[in-house]
Amino acid sequence: MDLLVTGVAGFIGMHVAEQLLLRGDKVIGIDNLNDYYDPCLKKARLETLSKYKNFFFFHMDVADRTQTSELFERESFDHVVHLAAQAGVRYSLKNPYAYGDSNLTGFLNVLEGCRQKRVKHLVYASSSSVYGGNTKLPLSERDNVDHPVSLYAATKKANELMAHTYSHLYSLPTTGLRFFTVYGPWGRPDMALFLFTKAILEQQVIEIFNHGSMRRDFTYIDDVVDSLIQTLHEVPVANKVFNTSHPDPASSWAPYRVLNIGNSTPIKLMDFICEIENQLGMPAKKKFLPLQAGDVLETYADTRRLEEITTNMSRTSLSDGIAKFIEWYKRYYSHQG
């Protein structure tokens, strides 16, 4: 299989690309290597991929229409895994235009490229953030998601709507993956596990929002990659029994679908912190704060639709996942120092 992976220097992008490369696929990877967080970490991820002869990297931004169009015209691939995006709920409060450029303009450029190239399957990153103000649990793809509580979530919901339009108009098969709090080695420095581990080791204070009264469906990176790659092979088709009088938001008369990827095991935030403390053998200095704007209280993935098209879904335990992250973190930063 010949693939384009956008955001290939990102956390999920690097892991997806490496698994594809290991099985012998040709991977063209692109990334703009921006400074939202330490570019050195992104470059180190790229170094792990550069050892593969079937990996080809281009430093570019999907928000650049000309560059993206030329890439689709020039390079040979028939599947696209689109993971390039401006991530982060809280950062969208500070720099909203970054989300418009990357998540909206960038996604449109990718859709246009896929249309022109007649790509066989576009798999793209959505987010559990799209559930916004929903409180019915577990969170199902069949639920209405018209009440986002952050701009980041709104852009991801917009991506799903844009993808459906292209699936309808041009028969482009699209799958949107709503990721639930992905964590693991090579993770993003702005996410809870990375922030908490770093602060505890440096004996700094960790900030705990909503006074710790939150639950998250933490999903280990290897489980995410396994599900994504299986999904890549299951190209969506039109739902021939789609009921337009009572439409299912997760499917369509077009070759379109959205799927949750989660562990289906919500964890209390304080239990999450306790597990990090136990594995580090150090207590955290805690500062309790009110709920942060844009945050949701609880995530819990209903993964029954995903289970219908995948086999032997792996679900790494929180304890094992945190242990693997801490092992990587200590090794990586011992080398950096």
What is d(CA 146, CA 76) in angstroms, rounded to the nearest whole number?
37
Residue 78 scores a pLDDT above 60: yes
Kindly name the residue from 124, 131, 152, 300 that is annotated as catalytic: 152
Does 63 or 89 have the greater pLDDT score?
63
- Domain total in the chain: 1
- pLDDT recorded at residue 122: 98
The pTM score is: 0.96
How much is the pLDDT for 337? 54
Is 256 catalytic? The answer is no
- Run of H or E residues at 82: strand 79-82
Overall size of the chain counted in residues: 337
For residue 295, what pLDDT is reported? 83
For residue range 230-254, what is the model confidence (pLDDT) as tens digits? 999 999 999 999 999 999 999 999 9
- Better-scored residue on pLDDT, 260 or 337: 260
Q: What is the CATH number of the domain that holds 237?
A: 3.40.50.720
The alpha carbon of 280 is separated from its chain's Cα centroid by a whole number of angstroms, namely: 27
Domain that holds residue 239: 2-336
Alpha helix stretches (DSSP H) within 118-209: 151-170, 192-201
- The encoded tokens of residue 317 equal 């335990």
Q: Tens digit of pLDDT for each residue in 265-323?
A: 999 999 999 999 999 999 999 999 998 888 888 999 999 999 999 988 889 999 999 99
The CA distance from 191 to 182, in Å, is: 9
Average pLDDT over residues 182-194: 96
pLDDT category at 336 given cuts 50, 70, 90 is: low
